[in-house]
Amino acid sequence: MAGIWDGDFLHRKDDAEFLIDYLLRRNKFAVDVGDRGTSINVTAPWGAGKTFFVNRMAEQLRANGLKVALVDAWRDDHAEDPIFAVMSAVLKALGQTGKKASLKRALKKNAGKIAIRAGKGLISRGAAFVIGQSAVEGIAEEVVKSVTDAGLESANDYAERALRMFDEGQEAIDDFRRRLAEGIKGQPPLFVIVDELDRCRPTYAVALLERIKHLFDVPNVVFIAATHSDQLAETIKAVYGQGFDAERYLLRFFDRTYSFDEPILDQFVAARWVSLGFDSNRVMEFGGVSRTDSIAGMAAGLGLSLRDIDQCLGVLWSIIELSDNRIEFPMLLAFPAIAAYQQRRMSIFEFLTRDWESPTPDGYQGFISKRPIYALDQTNKFGNRTGNKETASTYDFAGFLRRIVHYGVANRIDESSLAGQYAETFRQKDFIVTHSNTYRSGEAHSSLRNLNVMIRKAGRLSA
């Protein structure tokens, strides 16, 4: 549908179309043979666009006329138990229909017994939102009574009553599942999509998986979870112990696992550039290369991970917003210093951003590499291409940053290199805006003289 996949820099629409087709076919087969529900784990590392994907996929499914319950697990993990957060989303997805009313009655009827079957009282404000305050109070009374009565009974009597309550709880779960199955029988499938599961409290994440398995694993329900499987496995181990086989445990909940490819670096930067809200007009362009491709090239030269790049972009955004808006910000001069700070290479960071002499720190040329990151067409002084290629490296840009911080902007910079042309363009603008009406002779500090402090403050904010 037009507009749904706008901003899809990582090309997740192709993944969604494939998965929707697969899940609809798999669900039809499951319904035809009377099998249970269909489930899939969409797994990808951080930064691969899982949240963008599930939100757009939910919109796509709704546009196709399907019912979708979208659950943000991390947003709701303050609740005591996930059952009511999921149920709220399911009831909302079903809309104002007789089926919704029937399911709501089923929940009111069975919620207390389901809560006791789960081993705890699921009493929360979230429950009141779904089933009403009076029903919640009824659950509370039932749970409290079960605890109070236990203290007045003999061990045998309590064991017998506990077993009876366990059986009643299982019957309540079975009754709910039966009503849900009847409510969606002969209808298009109900999609239950859960995002941010791997960011939740360990106990909540495990409880959510188990509640969905127990309550919603019925024919014609399609369950999709977007996770970083490795991180989710660690979450599960936090509950059951480091020796627990978490990967095998996850197989209980998902029929299949679908893995995203890791994003191409320039696509990732382009996606984050938009989502962070950069104003490209505030940023200097380099040699006709797009601003996002420039950052991607430099980040690759610095060996940054996707998470590192995102944190550096967060710092860069803050600095740009706080800088003088009369001067296009020279991001390629500043980015090596931002990366050094983010990587906690503090001696390199200080070397680049302090305006006094200091010895070259150890590891400088290992981190600030001389390896070319750009190869552009060379032009003459008239702007015409010469037919030759010229390269630029992180080392080149870092050197010009240090020169400007140390010597200021009064003296012209050699423009014989691509990085030199970039630095000189900034120097001229910086000098004109900052000193044109006040400069007489001597030192003229650059606006980048405060870069050290700006990066430190923005870095603390980002962290």
Tens digit of each residue's pLDDT, the chain (463 residues) = 458 998 888 889 999 999 999 999 999 998 888 778 888 999 887 767 888 899 999 999 999 999 999 888 777 655 566 777 777 788 788 776 656 666 666 665 665 566 544 444 333 433 443 444 444 444 444 444 554 454 545 555 545 555 565 556 567 777 777 877 887 888 899 999 988 777 777 777 888 888 788 777 888 999 998 888 888 888 888 888 888 888 888 888 888 889 888 788 898 999 889 888 999 999 999 988 899 999 999 999 999 988 899 999 999 999 998 888 899 999 999 999 999 999 999 999 999 998 667 788 989 989 998 888 887 766 655 666 666 778 889 999 999 999 999 888 888 998 888 899 999 999 999 999 888 766 666 678 888 989 999 999 888 875 5
Beta strands in 58-159 (DSSP E): 67-72
Domain boundary residue, one of 259, 281, 306 = 259
Same domain, 244 and 331: no
Tokens of 281: 């007009």
- The predicted model scores a pTM of 0.70
In a domain, 1, yes or no: no
Same domain, 253 and 278: no
In a domain, 297, yes or no: yes
In a domain, 251, yes or no: yes
Same domain, 203 and 330: no
Domain boundary residue, one of 259, 275, 308 = 259
Same domain, 181 and 284: no
Same domain, 19 and 151: yes
Same domain, 309 and 185: no
Same domain, 324 and 360: yes
Same domain, 226 and 293: no
Same domain, 197 and 291: no
Pairing label, strands 372-379, 385-393:
antiparallel
Backbone angles phi, psi at 413, to 5 degrees: -100, 140
Residues of the domain holding 294: 265-462
Let me know if 54 is exposed, middle or buried by CB neighbors in 10 A (0-12, 13-18, 19+): buried
> What CATH number is attached to the domain comprising 137?
3.40.50.300
Same domain, 281 and 344: yes
Tokens of 329: 């910000």
Same domain, 182 and 116: yes
Segment (H or E) for 40: strand 38-43
In a domain, 426, yes or no: yes
Backbone angles phi, psi at 227, to 5 degrees: -140, 165
Q: Characterize 148-161 residue by residue with b for buried, 16 or more Cβ atoms within 10 angstroms of its Cβ, and e for exposed.
A: eeeeeeeeeeeeee
* DSSP character at residue 71: E
Domain count, the chain: 2
In a domain, 3, yes or no: no
Domain boundary residue, one of 204, 233, 259 = 259
As a three-state string, the secondary structure of 168-237 is HHHHHHHHHHHHHHHHHCCCCCEEEEEECHHHCCHHHHHHHHHHHHHHHCCCCEEEEEEECHHHHHHHHH
In a domain, 2, yes or no: no
In a domain, 5, yes or no: no
Same domain, 223 and 286: no
In a domain, 6, yes or no: no
